[in-house]
Structure 1
Amino acid sequence: MADMPLILHFILSAIATVGFSVFFQVPKDSLFPCGLIGGIGWTLYVYLFKVTDNGVFSAFIAASLLSLCSEILARKLKQPAILFVIPGIIPLVPGLGMYNTMLYLVQGDYNLGISTGTNTLFIAAAIALGVLVITSLSKTINLVELRKKRALNKH
């Protein structure tokens, strides 16, 4: 990652997220929140990666926060959470790792290709797991609250 200030990482990733949001036909009033979520997620990833030098951990925490912010905004803006999650995780997707994996394999450097591919796979899994954990937790909390309301209405 280039030595850029975190604010520049935030701005550029927010712009990229808004671009993908337009591509995914997100409603216009949700473009700014999508950009905000994508910027926060990527900036946290960059910060944690610089501190820990662990891409898998950084991706998991960033995806978890991104998913949590998406769930909160979904409730406030009365939109589905996936509307914010999908464009928001785009900056986190390890595209360079996928490219380098294929490049090393085509060049015949199998050890480096397998190593890079494994790391890329773990980062992708960490992103998916971060989103899955928060989404499942959110759905569980919503179900518990719904059951409490139903129980109160019966009495």
Structure 2
Amino acid sequence: MTDMPVYMHFIYAALSTVGFSVFFNAPVASLIPAGITGGVGWAIYFYLMTTTSNSILSNFVAALVVSLFSEILARKLRHPAILFVIPGIIPLVPGLGMYNTMLFLVQKNYDMAISTGADVLFVGGAIALGVLVITSLARTISIFKIKKKLNSQ
């Protein structure tokens, strides 16, 4: 990756997350929490990537954390969780892998294109699965709370 310290990765990821939040017209009050969410997610990804070199696991765990933070912030700040999830996972999106896949296709290097493209698809699936697991868990807990409340009345 790079020789930058983890805190620099956090700062740059947080700034990019805030930038995408502004681009998506998020409320001003949600910009800093969204930035922290994206920064923490990227820092976790970076740490796991440097220790395990497994991009799929690193993206999955980072997406889990981003989604968990987003659900917590949604409850605390009374905003939809998607205000924090979408900008928070933007730093995790494998843009270089997508670019390299297309470059290998244009260069007619089909073996590398298939290899890189498959990795990109698995990473994208890991990110989606990480968000799906936490979102489903949060909704299940909400449903049980509502049922418990209705049964007690």
CA deviations 1:103-139 (Å, max 9, x no partner) are: 0111111101110000011000000000001000000
What residue ranges of structure 2 are gaps of 5+ in the alignment?
Answer: none
Partners of 1:124 and 1:136 in 2: CA distance = 18
CA deviations 1:3-25 (Å, max 9, x no partner) are: 21000000000000000000000
Aligned CA-pair RMSD:
0.5
CA deviations 1:68-111 (Å, max 9, x no partner) are: 00000000000100110000000000000000000011111110
TM-score, length basis structure 2:
0.99
Letter of the aligned partner of 1:127 in structure 2? I
Aligned length: 153
Aligned to 1:20: 20
CA deviations 1:50-77 (Å, max 9, x no partner) are: 1110000000000001000000000000
Letter of the aligned partner of 1:112 in structure 2? M
Letter of the aligned partner of 1:78 in structure 2? R
TM-score, length basis structure 1:
0.98
2:99 pairs with 1:99: yes
Partners of 2:43 and 2:98 in 1: CA distance = 21
Partners of 1:46 and 1:140 in 2: CA distance = 30
Letter of the aligned partner of 1:149 in structure 2? K
Following superposition, which runs of at least 4 residues in structure 1 exceed 3 angstroms of deviation? none
SS at match of 1:26: coil
Aligned to 2:41: 41
